[in-house]
Chain A
Amino acid sequence: MYSTKTPTLRIDEADLKCKNGCGFYGNAEWEGYCSKCYREYLQKQRSQTECNVYGQGYDLASSNKNTISAHQKYEEKKVQQEKKYKLLNISFRKPVTKVQGYQELLYELTKDNPDLEKVKTDNRDLIAMIAKTPVERDVRKCMHSFIIEILQNKDVKRIEELSEITQNFYQVFAKRLENSAKYADITPEIKEKLLDYVERYAMTLLYRILFCPPFTNDEEKDLAIQKRIRQLNWVSGKNLECRIHETSSEVRELVYTSITDLLNMDSAKAPQEKLSCVIYCCRNIFLMLQQSVGGPASADEFLPALIFIVLKANPARLKSNINFITRFCNASRLMTGEGGYYFTNLCCAVSFIENLTAESLNMDEKDFNAYMSGERVPANTWESALMICESLHLMCEDITLLDEMKAKTTEIMTEALNLKEKMLQFQEEMKSEVNMVLDKTPLLITHSQRLPTNLDCEDIESYQLPPPIIPQVCPTTINNSTPQNDMRISLIEDCITPSPTFDFPSFIGDDSFDVSKAEDETSLISLDTQSDFDTQQDKSTNELLVSTHLNLPCSTESEQEDYHGFTVQGSNIPTIPCSTGDLSLNSTEMDCENYTSYFHNT
Chain B
Amino acid sequence: MANRGTAQRPNGSTQGKICQFKLVLLGESAVGKSSLVLRFVKGQFHEYQESTIGAAFLTQTVCLDDTTVKFEIWDTAGQERYHSLAPMYYRGAQAAIVVYDITNQDTFVRAQTWVKELQRQASPSIVIALAGNKADLSNKRVVEFDEAQTYADENGLLFMETSAKTAMNVNDIFLAIAKKLPKNEQSGSASTSGQGRRLVETEGQKAATGNCCK
- Tell me the A residues contacting B by CB distance below 8 Å: 160, 163-164, 167, 170-171, 174-175, 178-179, 184, 187-189, 191-192, 195, 241, 283, 286-287, 289-290, 295-300, 302-304, 323, 326-327, 330-338, 341-342, 344-345, 347-348, 351-352, 355, 359-362
Q: Which residues of the other chain, A, contact B200 by a CB distance below 8 angstroms?
A: 332, 336
Q: Which residues of the other chain, B, contact A338 by a CB distance below 8 angstroms?
A: 57
Q: Is the CB–CB distance between B54 and A337 below 8 Å?
A: no
Q: Given A188-B205, A296-B53, decide whether A335 and B212 contact each other with a Cβ distance below 8 A.
A: no
Rounded to whole Å, the gap between the CB of B12 and the closest CB of chain A is 10
B166-209 vs A: 1/0 string, CB under 8 Å? 00000000000000000000000000000010111100111111
Among B9, B53, B88, B204, point to the contact of A290 (Cβ < 8 A): B53
Rounded to whole Å, the gap between the CB of B55 and the closest CB of chain A is 4
Q: Given A335-B196, A337-B201, A347-B88, decide whether A299 and B213 contact each other with a Cβ distance below 8 A.
A: no
Q: Which residues of the other chain, A, contact B207 by a CB distance below 8 angstroms?
A: 174-175, 178, 332
A241 CA to B76 CA in the complex, in Å?
Answer: 16
21 contacts across the A-B interface (CB closer than 8 A): A171-B210, A174-B208, A188-B205, A290-B54, A296-B53, A298-B34, A298-B54, A298-B56, A300-B29, A300-B78, A302-B56, A302-B77, A304-B79, A323-B214, A331-B196, A332-B200, A333-B201, A335-B22, A335-B210, A341-B56, A341-B74
> Nearest chain-A residue to B13 (Cβ)?
A188
Q: Is the CB–CB distance between A336 and B56 below 8 Å?
A: no
**Residue B11 at the chain A interface, CB threshold 8 Å:** yes
Q: Which residues of the other chain, A, contact B46 by a CB distance below 8 angstroms?
A: 295
Q: Is the CB–CB distance between B204 and A170 below 8 Å?
A: no
Q: Which residues of the other chain, B, contact A335 by a CB distance below 8 angstroms?
A: 22, 92, 196, 198, 210, 213
> Nearest chain-A residue to B21 (Cβ)?
A336
Q: Which residues of the other chain, A, contact B78 by a CB distance below 8 angstroms?
A: 299-300
Q: Which residues of the other chain, B, contact A359 by a CB distance below 8 angstroms?
A: 81
Q: Is the CB–CB distance between B198 and A336 below 8 Å?
A: yes
Q: Given A188-B205, A290-B53, decide whether A300 and B79 contact each other with a Cβ distance below 8 A.
A: yes
Q: Which residues of the other chain, A, contact B113 by a CB distance below 8 angstroms?
A: none
> Nearest chain-A residue to B9 (Cβ)?
A188
Closest 10 CB pairs of A and B: A298-B34, A286-B54, A299-B75, A332-B208, A303-B77, A296-B55, A326-B214, A348-B85, A341-B57, A299-B56
Q: Is the CB–CB distance between B85 and A351 below 8 Å?
A: yes
Q: Is the CB–CB distance between B11 and A299 below 8 Å?
A: no
> Nearest chain-A residue to B58 (Cβ)?
A296
Q: Is the CB–CB distance between B11 and A332 below 8 Å?
A: no
Q: Is the CB–CB distance between A336 and B201 below 8 Å?
A: yes
A179 CA to B9 CA in the complex, in Å?
Answer: 9
Q: Given A298-B34, A334-B213, A347-B88, decide whether A171 and B56 contact each other with a Cβ distance below 8 A.
A: no
B102-115 vs A: 1/0 string, CB under 8 Å? 00000000000000
Q: Which residues of the other chain, A, contact B209 by a CB distance below 8 angstroms?
A: 171, 331-332
If over half of B's interface residues share one DSSP class (helix, strand or loop), that class is named, otherwise mixed; here it is loop
Q: Is the CB–CB distance between B85 and A170 below 8 Å?
A: no
Q: Is the CB–CB distance between B79 and A331 below 8 Å?
A: no
Q: Is the CB–CB distance between A299 and B76 below 8 Å?
A: yes
> Nearest chain-B residue to A322 (Cβ)?
B214
Q: Is the CB–CB distance between B211 and A164 below 8 Å?
A: yes
Q: Is the CB–CB distance between A174 and B206 below 8 Å?
A: yes
Q: Which residues of the other chain, A, contact B30 by a CB distance below 8 angstroms?
A: 300
Rounded to whole Å, the gap between the CB of A160 and the closest CB of chain B is 8
Rounded to whole Å, the gap between the CB of A335 and the closest CB of chain B is 5
Q: Which residues of the other chain, A, contact B205 by a CB distance below 8 angstroms?
A: 188, 191-192
> Nearest chain-A residue to B76 (Cβ)?
A299
Q: Is the CB–CB distance between B88 and A344 below 8 Å?
A: yes
Q: Is the CB–CB distance between A327 and B84 below 8 Å?
A: no
Chain B residues numbered 13-52 whose CB sits less than 8 Å from any CB in chain A? 20, 22, 25, 29-30, 33-34, 38, 46, 48, 52
Q: Is the CB–CB distance between A296 and B54 below 8 Å?
A: yes
Q: Is the CB–CB distance between B204 and A189 below 8 Å?
A: yes
A295 CA to B37 CA in the complex, in Å?
Answer: 14
Q: Which residues of the other chain, A, contact B33 by a CB distance below 8 angstroms?
A: 298-300
Q: Which residues of the other chain, B, contact A184 by a CB distance below 8 angstroms?
A: 10
A160 CA to B208 CA in the complex, in Å?
Answer: 18
> Nearest chain-A residue to B78 (Cβ)?
A300
Contacts A283-B53, A332-B199, A345-B56 aside, 5 further interface pairs with beta carbons under 8 A come to: A171-B208, A289-B54, A295-B46, A332-B208, A336-B72
Q: Is the CB–CB distance between B11 and A298 below 8 Å?
A: no
B51-76 vs A: 1/0 string, CB under 8 Å? 01111110000000000000010111
A362 CA to B79 CA in the complex, in Å?
Answer: 12
**Residue B145 at the chain A interface, CB threshold 8 Å:** no
Among B81, B84, B196, point to the contact of A334 (Cβ < 8 A): B196
Rounded to whole Å, the gap between the CB of B201 and the closest CB of chain A is 5
> Nearest chain-B residue to A166 (Cβ)?
B212
Q: Which residues of the other chain, A, contact B11 by a CB distance below 8 angstroms?
A: 187-188
Q: Which residues of the other chain, B, contact A361 by a CB distance below 8 angstroms?
A: 81
**Residue B139 at the chain A interface, CB threshold 8 Å:** no
Rounded to whole Å, the gap between the CB of B169 and the closest CB of chain A is 20
Q: Which residues of the other chain, A, contact B212 by a CB distance below 8 angstroms?
A: 160, 163-164, 167, 326-327, 331
